[in-house]
A and B are shown apart, each in its own frame.
Chain A
């Protein structure tokens, strides 16, 4: 660790600096994680006391019926949202204590995303979409590296196309290339095949696992798809906001 932070560091917000018990083998630690929403005077509990850890380099699936809270869980794990209580520790960094901007940087440095609806920037070309995270990090040879990544997902020819000119599968592949562009420690995927047909799904899944293996990235995927889940090493089941099972698969 070599975190430099200006000024006095005494507030609880920065307590993560002092709890340096970083289990090196765990990239993600979730403890007592809860999320509630206030709605029309009622408290709606979406996630209730979730605990689990994810080992670095592993592949994991979070499954559960619609409305079980799995997407919320993903959002919290990835630092897209703030929990009501409990902690999320990503690569040894306690996300709960960071500001949104600091979390954004954590995401930029360590996290990759794949979304059900791809979430490419519609006004940027495929290539530019892949370039953004690299550019944010101020890296060098961005264009070449982005082209290389596009090449890996088999789209080197289509870099100059806008997302809307691409098919769903192609868009998801672009987003995959983008997700891996910053060589993330962990990749979160939200129903990555949810909008794709079976054949395209298979291709995309294969790509995800291949890239994952190649880069040694940890994978956390939220899915309905039992086939996809079965390809991971571990399946965490959520129902009604509670963790109901956590089992290793034969891949483990």
Chain B
């Protein structure tokens, strides 16, 4: 008898591959559509990642010009032999610098001015250049007894290239005008203009003697990829012992303000969004693709194909599709990355380098394949349970299929995977989990919205409605509907786009705030009360704005709630830091808050009653250090005079702006007579104006000191404008790719409605009627998901602003509205395009080619 069944029949792997290939052959155009969604998703991801990595490198290179070397070590004492040996053995290239304040003499014009002399030896700067006029002077001055002189200083003393300047006992010829120099930060550069001389002449100037205050700097460049941050960490204790400091590009970035942090956080966000755009593109394609394959699987099962075999056939196919899609996507993405900067070359304020990022390509392909598999697994694991009975009746036992416990495993895998990949982008486990959680919540909100929509339309669609409306709406809940998948993919894409736009706007605002623009770049201080009016007048006469003008009174805190510094030493339970009493507070008085201040607690009181306790406002951090609460009593010692006060309010201060900020602010009415000096801030548009103004001020008020931040800020400004541009570029690019992915994911719903449309067409429905039905369905899907996505974006931006970027939250409704309309209309247009084929060809042909 021939009923021997070998249940252990081996799985014939080559046959599975053959079946997978065969099954993909028919309807290549349809397959192409699905693959295109993957291609766009991955192309978006690869292009964004590539740009991200390139831009990160660009900005890092740019940041390198802030110190001009990989590592800078400095101290104000000569180094001992042991340390010298160590310092001389590090790095691939080394430079040394001695810098100190000195009086520079211009023999021709007989002028004298405090400057900062920088005696340089070696190839510094390694990043960026000493920008000089003439250009070559930056390098050639080291060859002779020559100097580079700060531009403003040249203007101030009417000096010319070729003139000589006297540094100590020695005359130097001015080789060039110094326009910009890397590593030119530090306030010394602001208060005293920089003059570079070659170090070999330092000795002869006679300025380095016992008692001279000299700063010793050592600059290093590392050719090999030495981990400078690690190295510097190891050096730290040694240097600390020697009283020296170090700076690396990283520490410099940290100290240059929040722009770098903002940028890297933003790029992380963009990376995460790209990841999810990739996911949306791939997942929606795969999901619909596999759903279509259910009938075929049932037939195969009928013919005796084991469920595991059916599962494998499609898994193989999906992996194939995933690889093809991802590789093509990676190629497309890389192409975009290379072409785009070429196309926009003329518009770009600076060049974005276009190196092939294998990291981005690798991640893109890996991601495409893994996401394809994971999202295919969801419908495919239910394939294992597809009853062959489906050949007799469609969708029997639908409910039984849903409960496969393996689904949860797949969900878990997807979750782990997204977290893992976002970790690659965000570099923080907590961040990855939170971001993923956020997306999960967004996903659930969208799913629930879709579900509710289906429920609600089902409940409200009435027989009395016109047929077209009924049909259009009914399509949303009928079997074989695309409501959930489309709402989720459109909604998520819209959300990403909108969030990116919002965050971008907030960040660019923030970055522009910190760049100088119209902000102060010159600070005049130590203005005496008697000089205040005159200085203001002088400033205005020169056509310069008085951006800030504040009186400053120095005082100390003597008691807090009756406790003094002495009590602190005796009683360790008092929660006040010792420094609170030791500090010399520079305090101002005014009647209102400034734009950089925000009231956190209490009430702002701007006018004091001299006979009562003085209501003062305390900055947040001071309130923490001093354990100060509203109503707490403080006794201030204003240069010998005790002033009892109480904490009336606690303020938050944005320290990121170039302006005077205060830990303690007094109201008007008490400090007017106290000893005080004044600070005035202004913005000078150019070196020329700066030079003229400085000269005038110094002549009239010789005691007034001027800090010209122009030179320092111009380096930072350039950087900030690049950062701001990069943020805009990356967000614009991501938004565009987001829209392309969105289009692709709506486009793949093309075949979903084709049968019905053909049927309606066969029954004699007019073009217009089918158009209306389709338009209604897609409009509803598009507008609802766009709306939901945008609302989630509002919330998402809030959390990002508050917890990730820590910037004030504010969004503009208008762009959101525009986005809403764009997405809704786009959805309708693509929906109509999808059904266009149905309308232009005879129904039968469509059925034959697309069924």
Contacts and interface: CB of A to CB of B under 8 A. Distances in A.
A11 to B, nearest CB: 15
B26 A119 contact: no
Interface stretch (A107-115, A147-155, A197-205, A230-238): A107-115
A122 B396 CA distance: 21
Interface in A71-119: 71, 74-75, 80-81, 91-93, 100-102, 104-111, 113, 115, 119
Contacts of B849: 164
A108 B308 contact: no
A196 to B, nearest CB: 18
A136 interface: yes
Interface stretch (B298-306, B472-480, B513-521, B759-767): B298-306
Interface in A12-41: 24
B526 interface: no
B1 interface: yes
A243 interface: no
B389 A124 contact: no
B392 interface: yes
A178 B7 contact: no
Given A75-B392, A104-B388, A1 B4 contact: yes
A110 B851 contact: no
A105 B3 CA distance: 11
B24 interface: yes
B694 interface: no
Contacts of A2: 4
A74 B391 CA distance: 12
Interface residues of B, number: 42
A104 B307 contact: yes
B303 A107 contact: yes
Interface in B339-395: 387-389, 391-393
B27 interface: yes
A133 interface: yes
B5 interface: yes
B33 to A, nearest CB: 15
A203 to B, nearest CB: 23
Of A3, A104, A138, most buried by chain B (CB within 10 Å of CB) is A104
B12 interface: yes
B592 interface: no
B9 A104 contact: no
A190 B392 contact: yes
A80 B23 contact: no
B26 A123 contact: yes
A105 B26 contact: no
B492 to A, nearest CB: 31
A135 B19 CA distance: 10
A36 to B, nearest CB: 13
A185 interface: yes
A71 B389 CA distance: 10
A83 B44 CA distance: 51
A75 to B, nearest CB: 5
B510 to A, nearest CB: 55
Given A113-B302, A123-B23, A105 B7 contact: yes
A26 B37 CA distance: 55
16 contacts: A4-B8, A80-B302, A80-B387, A80-B392, A81-B396, A104-B301, A104-B307, A105-B9, A109-B304, A113-B303, A119-B299, A119-B391, A135-B12, A135-B15, A164-B849, A185-B2
Interface of A: 1-6, 24, 71, 74-75, 80-81, 91-93, 100-102, 104-111, 113, 115, 119-124, 128, 132-133, 135-136, 138, 162, 164-165, 178, 182, 185, 190
Given A80-B302, A81-B389, A123-B25, 15 more contacts: A3-B4, A80-B388, A93-B3, A105-B304, A107-B304, A108-B305, A111-B304, A113-B302, A120-B299, A122-B296, A123-B23, A124-B26, A132-B303, A133-B303, A135-B18
